[in-house]
Structures are given as structure tokens and as C-alpha cells.
Amino acid sequence: MSILIDKNTRLIVQGITGRDGGFHTAKMKAYGTNVVGGTSPGKGGENVEGIPVFNTVRDAVKETEANTSVIFVPAPFAKDAMMEAADAGVKLIICITEGVPTLDVVEAYHYIKQKGADLIGPNCPGLISPAKSTVGIMPTMIFKQGSTGVISRSGTLTYEVVYNLTSKGLGQSTAVGVGGDPIVGLYYQELLEMFQNDPETDSIALIGEIGGDAEERAAEYIKKHVTKPVAVFIAGQQAPPGKQMGHAGAIISSGSGTAAEKIAAFEAVGVPVAKEPSQIPDLLKSRL
């Protein structure tokens, strides 16, 4: 199995006629993702890569029975795009857009939850269930179908860890990039629960970074609820307090959110923490 997306995923692309939307639509379709439609206001009736374009998400869902949406629209319009998808009945919304104002995300997040849907992102690379479906911008050639679930705040570190997993013979069930902003949708705890309940996931790689306390809460959740082997890497171990490192959410404030605190939280509950991303496969293998 896998979590969130598989061969039954019916995807629409919001912003399909834009440069990024069109480029990644072609990539997702070529991988085998069932891209059933796209939206671009005023361009309904056109097509991209043979995929029909609709004026609204509601029109697209009505005609295609889409259950998943990926968003490639400029940041000022991302909030409306996320809320439009939820309002149209889409159950999984992936927002790739970066630079979305935090208050916009807060409003969209709560609206999406009220509609009974899930959000991944914004400012994320998306997700992939190898050999089944990919939604977003991940480099598919490094992934291999298997049994290790991957959860990450960092896109590029996801790719480094996955490359090492694949090289060591550990394929992936699903890899999810949650996004690096201060507020995002599905996070460690929800995804850990999904992987714990997935019978074809036998281990989990978790990639965290400085800022916030999500990793500390994940460690506590693992202690109480996760029985499968977990290995962790925390980025930003040399970051000075008060300096943002890369992501908007990667900032140590008032002495909290440091890499040392996060590492200590995982080690306290018996979860091994890699000093380098390349060590994760061996840490998992030693516990399988």
C-alpha cells in the first residue's frame, strides 16, 4: 500500500496553463499519475498535454470526479485556490506555492479542515508513492517502490535521504514533503499515524530542522504510538539563534527550537538520530 496517493488518485492541477503548472503536469502525467484536468480562469475549453482545462475547480470536479488537487498559482492567489479546492469537494490539496502569507495559510487551513479535507504545504515539494503516483515537483528517478515511509520539512534533504535509501536497497512506500513554512497542513503526527497504520510500511525516515517544536511533539508521539523503526536527521545544527536558515519556519527564537533540543527529544525516546543524512539507511536496517 501507500498513504494519501496511489493509482486511484484523480488529480487536477490548479494553474495548469502557467509555466510551472504546465511543466510539472507533463512530468506527473509521464510518471503515470492520473491527471484528469486542470484549471485556469478564462481558459476553460483549452487543453494542456491533452488534459482538459476548466474555468473553476467546481467545474473540474463535476466533470472528472477529481479527489486531489495540486496548486501552482502565484502566492497572492494561493489562499483562494486552496479554499476553492476545498469548497469544490477535493479531499487532498497540495500547495506547492512558496511565499504565501502566514495569515493566508491560517485562514485556508481552518477552512479546509472545516470541509473535511487535508492540506499538504504550502511551500512544499509534494509527495510521491513510487510506481503509483506523484503529485508535485519531486525528482522521480531517485525513488523506488518499497516499504520505508519518508516525512520531511526539507525538499532537497528529502532527495538526499531518498537517494541514500534507494542506493542501500530501501525503497519507499510514500514520501511526503510537508513544507518549511511556520504554518502548514499535515505534519509529523498525522503522517506518523498514517504510516504506522499502513501494513506495507515497515520503517519511517523523518527529516526535521530547526524552528518550532514539531519534532519534539513527534518524538513524544512516537514514544506513545509508533512501533515501527524510525530514524531521524535534524538539519541546522550549526545555526545561530535569531537567524533564519532557508525556510521561513527555520528560525530559533528565544532559545527554543534548536537542533540540540530536537535531537535530545528523539534520543530520549530511543529514536536514533543520524549525524549525516547518509546514515539513515543503516540506522533503519539495524532495527528492522
Positions marked active-site: 247
CA distance 133 to 254: 41
Taking each continuous run of H as one helix and of E as one strand, the counts in the chain are: 9, 14
Nearest to 52 by CA among 89, 10, 7: 10
CA distance 288 to 273: 16
Contact of 132 with 6, CB cutoff 8 Å: yes
Contact of 90 with 62, CB cutoff 8 Å: no
Phi, psi of 84 (to 5 degrees): -60, -40
Contact of 195 with 212, CB cutoff 8 Å: no
The distance from CA 77 to its chain's CA centroid, rounded to whole angstroms, is: 20
CA distance 212 to 244: 12
CA distance 56 to 70: 14
